[in-house]
Amino acid sequence: MSPVRHFGGNGDVATFMAALAEQYGVAANLEDFERKAQLMDYVSYRAIFEGFQAHLWTKNSGRLLWMTHPSWPSNTWQIYSSDYDTAAAYYAVKKACEPVHAQLNLPDFTLAVANISRTARSHLRLRSRIVSLDDRLLAERVDALSVAANSIATLAALDLKPVLAREGLVFVQLTLSDSYGATLSENLYWQGRDAASERRLLDLRPQSIGVTARARKSGEDTRVEVVLTNQGRAPALAAKITMLDEQHARVLPVYYDDNYVSLLPGETRHIEVLCPAGSGRCARVALRGWNAEPRDIAVERTVP
């Protein structure tokens, strides 16, 4: 059955396909479609919940997703699926809903820090960096702030419009730290002048990502710490790790505390993976991404 036959009726995906083609170009094949759809889903789902928090307890008091998983394989309107794999949208929602969260409000480029915990946070520091596709630092700003419990603090807007007029597309990196310098929240946006400018992401060359993985027993389960480092000279977007067995087959279910991570050059991210007992031996880690060079490495085993 042609997928075009599903372009209509309840759950119409025609607008999804049109937006994907406009932002990232028409998919060349199924693999290219999946890569582009995951990236667009990440941006969309993060915006759904950051938009909620931008007007917390004023215009907004809740968010409802009409669907969380599809009845057949899909790349729209889902954050998980029946095969126990987890889509980029899930990690976008997890990112947006972290207890203390730094965000860029997309309608007007104001900065905000949402605190959905019960504890007020004071003496915070929000560092904002605007970076080009080739990793040139275009602008930087540091804001000091405090935010009450269960509320949001809104700061002045970033002056992005003249930068976008000149560059077309930029990256905005937000890093929120406490009074001791510990990082509380990290967030990276790729913002275009318009939808068509998003296609500049296609110009990103594949980047080398360093990968290490070390496993340890945790009761009957196995925990694997995976460390990713962008060794390239440009941002690497939506880097996804997948646990494999000795025969290089995907292991499911497996639970990742983060995935589809984006890294500026030199940045490192730690991901903890839980491989439940009976899920199969997590022997290898595969890496792929929007512009990450594919990797497949063995997991190092610690001595009990």
Identify the burial level of 166 via C-beta atoms within 10 angstroms of its C-beta, where 0-12 means exposed, 13-18 middle and 19 or more buried.
Answer: exposed
**Angle 88-96/30-54 helices, nearest 10 degrees?**
20
Low-confidence ranges of the chain (pLDDT < 70): 1-11, 303-304
Quote the pLDDT of residue 203. 93
Which domains can be identified in the chain, with CATH numbers? 3-95 (no CATH), 98-203 (2.60.40.10), 209-301 (2.60.40.10)
CA 137 from centre of chain: 21
Give residue 99's identity as a one-letter amino acid code: P
β-pairing, 151-157 vs 110-115, is antiparallel
Quote the pLDDT of residue 215. 95
Cα torsion through 224, 229, 235, 237, rounded to 10: -10
- Residues 11-44 pLDDT 10s: 578 888 999 999 999 999 999 999 999 999 999 9
Quote the pLDDT of residue 304. 58
Distance between CA atoms of 261 and 95, rounded to whole angstroms?
A: 10
Comparing C-alpha atoms, which of 64, 59, 38 is closest to residue 49? 64
pTM: 0.92
Q: What is the largest CA-CA distance in the chain?
A: 58
Quote the pLDDT of residue 196. 87
Quote the pLDDT of residue 37. 94
